[in-house]
Structure 1
Amino acid sequence: MSEPLTTPEPVPRQLSVNALSERLVTRLVDDAAQFAVDVTRTEGGTVLVDAGVVAPGSIEAGALVARICMGGLGRVAVRSNFEAAPLWPTMIDVQTSAPVLACLASQYAGWSLSATKEQTGGKRFFSLGSGPARALAGKEPLFAELGYRDRHTRGVLVLEVDRLPPQVVIDKVLNDCALAPEQLTIVVTPTHALAGTVQVVARVVEVALHKTHVLGVELDEVVEGTGCAPLPPPAPDGIQAMGRTNDAILYGGRVHLTVRHDDVAKRLAAELPASNSRDYGRPFADIFTSFNYDFYQIDPALFAPAEVWVSSLESGATWHGGGVNAALLNQQWSGTAGRT
């Protein structure tokens, strides 16, 4: 008698970060007035969302852009924090049950996009692209490590820069993503604007995932991620604005990761916090300036949350490391600090 046929295990359908974020993009575009953003289209039909270049943008827009950056796989909320002796009155909360896809395959700003003065007909352009369209292009070595590529008919890219991208950059994105012009949306959020400040601070869990990757930990160890960081007031100066958003994470960011095994939890609790860096302890704007505005001279260990808790599914135990530096944040953000 032949053996009975067995039902094969269902093959999990691969998540599409571009498909999952599409409804969020539609909301941002359709409700542009509510979010205080401006929407224009190129001659070819590519949608450009100005969330802080000329348009004022808003905190609400920043939270929605952060969710778009996470490929629709994360929650981002703005929380008032007026308890006794709060770290800061406004906090950004982030949660994802797909931390590797949401943070590294989508949110991470890893796609370098530039154009020369000759190509733009004016000023040189440079920005790092983040968001779901990165996974369509797959130009970064990271995607080979993740074993992930997205396939979708529409895409969205977020640029943290103070002007709209020139056509030569738009054309490159379209070509690399294999999209028709009308299938692409580009959102621009300068760091010194409200929306830009929010979407950078909302990278608190992503920073932890990236540091985990830098430490050489297998990424499939991380199964859940939550975090929070204080939302600083934007600074009109670009360097100060960048400094404040980085300080929010390096000195005020708190992250709770859930991993599979005890040894990983112990290691991450010990090695993840930003305080492990030789450059820790100074405002980020000062550090950046001291290295002649070169990110690559800064100790990579600095780019991490201030404080972490790491729970293990193996034993149910949780390990803790690091701590916030409220004094540094208040010194930088209160009164006239940072003003020239």
Structure 2
Amino acid sequence: MPSSNATPDASPPLAGAAALSVNALSAPLVERLVDAAARLGVAITHTQGGTVLVDAGVAAAGSIDAGVLIARICMGGLGRVAMRPSLEAAPLWPSMIEVRTSAPVLACLGSQYAGWSLSATKEQTGGKKFFSLGSGPARALSVKEPLFAELGYRDAHDRGVLVLEVDRLPPQVVIDKVLHDCGLAPDRLTLVITPTHSVAGTVQVVARVVEVALHKTHVLGVDLGEVVEGSGSAPLPPPAPDGIQAMGRTNDAILYGGRVHLTVRHDAVAKQLAAELPASNSRDYGRPFADIFTSFNYDFYQIDPALFAPAQVWVSSLESGATYRGGALDAALLQAQWSGQS
């Protein structure tokens, strides 16, 4: 149930962000991805209409650098993403993804969140049915999700970019839908394809560690206007060739290895989030995500929504200057899964 900190009569949290265009801010990053395709290991093709397709892991090899850049694109140019070696004496994992943003609600929920459902039947594709969730700046052009009404934000730009987490290039019928819903000319759209089992796909999913915290904050009913800064880190696992295992590894990286630091306006909110936000509040917590997913017959909607959260959160209050902490990392579970030990 939403908490008492929900403020339904307050202004939408992004009502004052109309001057910021996540598609305009991400455009230089998209240009860099295309221009450096050979170095980044991605492949560029175009539809007959001129829509740019960036293969970052279907037939192309992709790379960690490509994944980092794609994660920044997903955040609408409002986030910093980097890979670094672990500097701890007893590292959780050798490689970590770090994320930070001073516009956490717009970057994470207004852009990065994978909330746009795109599908096509086998009759429409002339072969195999297609399904993918779309994330990134073009979501804010189409505003097909109720979330945008809550945020009070809609982008207006003549270019758009959408990231698809799927293992094949989208059919023309899906491309046409995106163009129509975004109001774009074909040559003004870029679609980036990042399968979860690819190197770039693994990076861009793990880089959602702060976004997962913002989404859980929203689910808890906390006024999103409370959150003014966000940063976080999570371990970068090696990709798994099996799709279910790859999805499991990226989720485990956040659920058991993700650490997020939020800065909020009020002390009561900081205390609440420290207590309620960590993944350990879920009834399904404690097992590898692939096992949980399989046990529910591959149905995401059967999994407790409270599970989708970082392992550990630190929440600082501007009101009191205090920082509260909740949850804990589980290095043993991650290393047992990723190192092949039982």
Q: TM-score, normalised by structure 2?
A: 0.95
CA distance, structure 2, for counterparts of residue 26 and residue 331 of structure 1: 40
Q: 2 CA distance for matches of 1:25 and 1:294? A: 34
The one-letter code sitting in structure 1 at the alignment partner of 2:146 is P
1:59 pairs, out of 44, 60, 64, with 64
CA distance in 1, matches of 2:340, 2:297: 27
- Partner of 1:71 in structure 2? 76
CA shift digits 1:233-280 (9 cap, x unpaired): 000000000000000000000000000000000000000000000000
- For the pair 1:192 / 2:197, whether they are aligned, the reply is yes
Q: Kindly report which structure 2 residues correspond to 1:182-331, keeping only aligned pairs within 5 A, or say none.
A: 182-331=187-336
Instruction: Give the drift of 1:85.
Output: 1.2
Superposed counterparts of 1:167-178, under 5 Å = 167-178=172-183
Contact preservation (8 Å) 2:232, 2:260: yes
Structure having the higher Rg:
1
1:87 CA drift (Å): 0.3
Cα distance change on mapping 1:114 and 1:256 into 2, 3 Å = same
- Secondary structure of 1:331's partner? helix
Shift of 1:83: 3.4
1:23 maps to 28
- 2:161 aligned with 1:156: yes
Q: Distance in 1 between matches of 2:236 and 2:176?
A: 34
Superposition pairs of residues 24-39 of structure 1, within 5 angstroms: 24-39=29-44
Whole-Å separation in 2 of the counterparts to 1:167 and 1:233: 32
Unaligned 5+ segments in structure 2 are: 1-15
Q: Does 1:107 align with 2:112?
A: yes
Identity of matched residues, %: 83
CA drift of 1:84 comes to: 1.8
CA–CA separation in structure 2 for the residues paired with 1:277 and 1:283 = 13
For 1:101 and 1:12, locate their aligned partners in 2 and report how far apart those are by CA, in whole Å: 8
Partner of 1:130: 135
- Structure 1: where are the runs of 5+ without partners? 1-10
Which amino acid in 2 is paired with 1:311? S
Tell me the C-alpha RMSD between the 2 structures.
0.9
In the TM superposition, residue 12 of structure 1 has moved relative to its aligned partner by 7.0
Mapping 1:35-54, distance limit 5 Å: 35-54=40-59
Q: Does 1:120 align with 2:151?
A: no
Q: How many residue pairs end up in the alignment?
A: 327
- Residue number in structure 1 paired with 2:4: none
Higher relative contact order by CA 8 Å / sep ≥ 6: 1 or 2? Answer: 2
Poorly superposed stretches of 4+, deviation over 2 Å: none
Alignment deviations for residues 21-62 of structure 1 (CA, whole Å, 9 cap, x no partner): 000000000110010000000000000000000000000000
Counterpart residue number, 2:339: 334
Tell me the distance in 2 between the aligned counterparts of 1:171 and 1:22: 21
Residue 33 of structure 1 aligns with an amino acid whose one-letter code is: A
Deviation of the 1:13 alpha carbon: 5.8
